[in-house]
Structure 1
């Protein structure tokens, strides 16, 4: 074989290897697990900005939303699950499907924008959900609440977006301690998790939301800093989420970085590596 022929044969084998690797990675991401970075503070302190996890797609079966999304704003790439599997969009039938359970931390596609969100499942089909003075009511019964300690974090720019936290102890300066009061909430069924409070606002007192058939109601654990089902889609909220938009369950934080880049090893939170999500 000539040197030129050998070169092209080597290039061909390299291309084949790359293609096979991409196909395997795509299959793995489509069927089993989807990587997810926590971009905002809406699920503090269960999930922190910079937590990295894999979403278990097998937990609830498969719909069009199980197809991968590829979004790289820096280079203008915006390919959603509907671009890959749009023919199945709108159907609430799920292959090997089962419903999420109240209290699960779930990744779902926003019903309007298609963006991936992560929140806690609060309301199942037929439930009546309401907030009264900051206390969650499910089917006209207040959930069990226990007072906890104060959640503290440093006032600083967080994550790649450089977000600054909101504080219950007022407007504090850069580097100061930002505080939020913490409670522990027990949902019907027994899931117990922490929630944070910042101040009194409109989302602490709502009307009654009756969850429609084949839909779910989601809320963030950082209750005063979460865009969720308490705000209707037409008001740029989440509203009720169809079963078909469920992507999967978040079970465990695999890696966590407090910095604006995962390469900044001095900002890694080693105490959160492989941490179970409750």
Structure 2
């Protein structure tokens, strides 16, 4: 598989972001769509909207001219805007490659890239996501506690793109593992999540720290941010962790052996018992042991 430089797309997306931001009073009003549409209509030699077949969203063809075609049958605005930005990346970065490799720029109706040119298609998808919802804008709307509906309507992104951007941001800025970042994004964008959960995810932005601005060590930042995220996606994990700490502290203070577990507070006694269950073989218990 061909390797491409994703930094080129990141740099171009940032340049577009700076230009767009100059037209708005603040980051939460950011809307790159009119500017992306203006560029994709201006830069190619030809630009069409046409009912493409086989579920293709858009394509860029380079021969004697650069021609961009967008499927006019796309009935979802956010998907159409994403396709504009995706094809704009090809015009900016891939025209020479496409000139010698015609017919490879294809997106299907799920926005999935053509397998034969996976890296360039993924790069175009990344450019589109970063252009529509840059880090600074995502950070601003989350800090302000904006809802998924607000972001969808004002930044003109799909819920899937928003989910992708949260995952990317949580990994790069909050240093969270991908699996936890995915759960965090799903907690915010999922249709079955309640308002309280979404508010908790937004609140995370006010509590987390990243290595670039914090005096804490990287390891402490990772642990702190991970605990904050776990408290949202699976609160019982942290509750259980705190109870285990309390149990260990009581053991240190009173020097109690495992056999005294039943003398302790019944609210945490079951957790105390769980700490020693690994050393216990239930097959050793006879029926008589349960008789009064």
TM-score range normalised by the length of the shorter chain: under 0.3
TM-score relative to the length of structure 2:
0.19
TM-score relative to the length of structure 1:
0.20
Comparing both chains, which one has the higher relative contact order based on Cα–Cα distances under 8 Å and sequence gaps of 6 or more? 1
The structure with the largest helix share of the pair is 2
Structure of greater Rg: 2
